[in-house]
Amino acid sequence: MPSRAFSIEDGNLGNKSILTSRREEYSDIDLSFAKKGSGDIFKKSSGASVKQAVRNLLLTNFSEKPFLPRFGADLNSMLFRLSTDIDDDTLEDDIIKAIETFEPRARVLNIKSNISPDTNEVNITVTFQIINTSEEAFVDVSLTRLR
């Protein structure tokens, strides 16, 4: 049976595999700005990079990012609200909406929020899947009064 030969320019399928997908390697700077012994700053890569981005997103308030006023989860807007005004469902909806809109690398799996009016605290745990690797990760965000 005759074999089909392609030119090198066309991939020469006879002796070269066809690239059907490409894995995107995420890499970001570490926002702690800690430095290595060499003096370079540390990198965040793969899941850690996405996790950092999600945390970033959750801790950003509306109008903080230049020319993108609706970026962020706006959690700080809860700061001066009455505890009775804060609603779990609304909070979760806001977080899901923010991640779906601004972080395409993550799919939210679960959000747990724990509102403690007595200690003036809100704890949020967002569990998400990193789409590229199917790896699961979670981010804890705790909002509490300083004094």
- Cβ of residue 44: shortest distance to another protein, in angstroms? 7
Q: 87 vs 135, which CB is nearer to another protein?
A: 135
Which are the contacts of 136, defined by CB distance < 8 A and separation ≥ 6?
A: 109, 127, 128, 129, 130
Q: Which C-beta is closer to another protein: that of 105 or that of 124?
A: 105
Q: How far is the CB of 116 from another protein (least distance, A)?
A: 27
Least Å from the CB of residue 113 to another protein: 20
Instruction: For 23-134, list the strands marked E by DSSP.
Output: 27-29, 43-45, 106-116, 121-130
Nearest to another protein of 28, 121 (CB atom): 28
Which chain residues interact with another protein by CB under 8 A?
24-31, 43-44, 49, 52-54, 56-57, 60, 65-68, 71, 102-105
The token duo for 60 is 């950003």
CB of 71 to another protein, least distance (A): 6
CA distances to 42, 112, 128 from 47, rounded to whole Å, are 15, 20, 11
